Amino acid sequence: MKTLATLSFLLLTIFSSRLCGQNATEETGLKSYYIVILKLGPHRDQDSATAAMIQKEHLENINRMAASGQLNVAGPFLDEGEMRGIFVFDVRSEEEVKLLVDNDPAVKAGRLIYEVHPWMTQQGTCFH
């Protein structure tokens, strides 16, 4: 499990070395983000209709956070492991991240739990 987490972090770091429309320079500053790892929660026993509704609301919530500029990256892991997905937030504090994620329908229902990790990369980083 730690190998997958390490690999995921390494891949994010590699991809983050590419800058949107500019070259990395000494003048480019570092910027803080918060990475959230979504993991299987303890309450995954909902019937299929309820689980589908929770997933739909979860995706709508992701779209709202992205539209507001708070969420830069979101997506599922493609294996069937304990870790289910990732969020990368551009907000001021870990407390703000927790408020946002605690209000996610899948977290509220107990289908997902999460861990928050402060992270830093070059300002202007994007994924291609």
Cβ pair 113, 40 in contact under 8 A: yes
Cβ-count burial of 87 within 10 angstroms (0-12 exposed, 13-18 middle, 19+ buried)?
A: buried
What distances in angstroms separate CA 80 from CA 37, 39, 76, one per listed residue?
Answer: 14, 11, 10
What domains lie within the chain, and their CATH numbers?
31-122 (3.30.70.1060)
Residue-by-residue pLDDT tens, the chain, 128 positions: 554 444 444 444 444 444 443 333 345 588 899 999 999 999 999 999 999 999 999 999 999 999 999 999 999 999 989 999 999 999 999 999 999 999 999 999 999 999 999 999 887 777 54
pTM comes to: 0.76
